[in-house]
Structure 1
Amino acid sequence: MMPEIGNGLLCLALGIALLLSVYPLWGVARGDARMMASSRLFAWLLFMSVAGAFLVLVNAFVVNDFTVTYVASNSNTQLPVWYRVAATWGAHEGSLLLWVLLMSGWTFAVAIFSQRIPLDIVAVYWR
């Protein structure tokens, strides 16, 4: 059940990322401040969904959930827990998910610390 939740969170993150790249710009074109301000909310939602998906993958490694092909090909029962956690980003899929997590975290940090930047600039430069 957990891998399906992680997959669902990744699909949700894709939808949120698409909204984050289009909806605030549409707000700039229409002059709608609420649509421009939504970029901060979308950045928060994107980070939370990607972080949730990454934590589900870490959990799959920690509990040796070999029903996940990625875990089965990059882990075994003899590895200590810290090595299994590190194996999360040890291959291509996990390192790409870690990169997406870091980039969404950066986007979220910009959303938090850009409170004094005018909304139209925030909406345009976040695409």
Structure 2
Amino acid sequence: IEGRVDAAWGRWVRPWTLAAWVFLTIGIALGSWWAYYELGWGGFWFWDPVENASFMPWLFAAALLHSAIVVEKRESLKNWTILLAIFAFGYSIMGTFIVRSGVLTSVHAFANDPDRGVFILIILGVFMGGALTLFSVRASELESKGVFSYVSRESALVMNNILLAVSSFVVFVGTIWPLVAELFFDRKLSVGAPFFNLAFTPFMIA
């Protein structure tokens, strides 16, 4: 809000982001373990919409952790880091919407409540709209001070950020495509592991 994004801000935001990322990692790992050993589903990960809803903010939070390092060390990538923070939290709210609204079919969905889903969607719209509006107003004030070469640790972190962000976008498209197909093309379909394995694996190899 104050437009102060500097090395001190980077040092301050990293432990909080790391704590959230660690807890989310533990939650995903325990959920996978529970599905495999307790429910006997025969696998740890199925690219289910609810699984994806937890995975997308995990990817953005991982990118945010790396980007905050560049802010702290070089005071660069300020705008990018703020965007990552906005989308990491926004995807978390969207995950809540997917789980509770029932708009997507999932074996993990529970206590579906369309009315509550609308309320969560409003919260998502208010937060994302407000945050992105504030960002657009203040972005010009966030000047990057540090400069780094193309062959450096910081450049590698930038490439890492891009891969994580694009990976999250790929998961997002695959997750919501059944809903898009039904709303705009009047077709019922499902997007499963074959698509995600084909589209997502190259980013992980890179």
TM-score (norm 1): 0.49
Which structure is larger by alpha-carbon Rg, 1 or 2? 2
TM-score (norm 2): 0.32
Structure having the higher helix fraction is: 1
**Greater RCO (CA < 8 Å, at least 6 residues apart):** 1
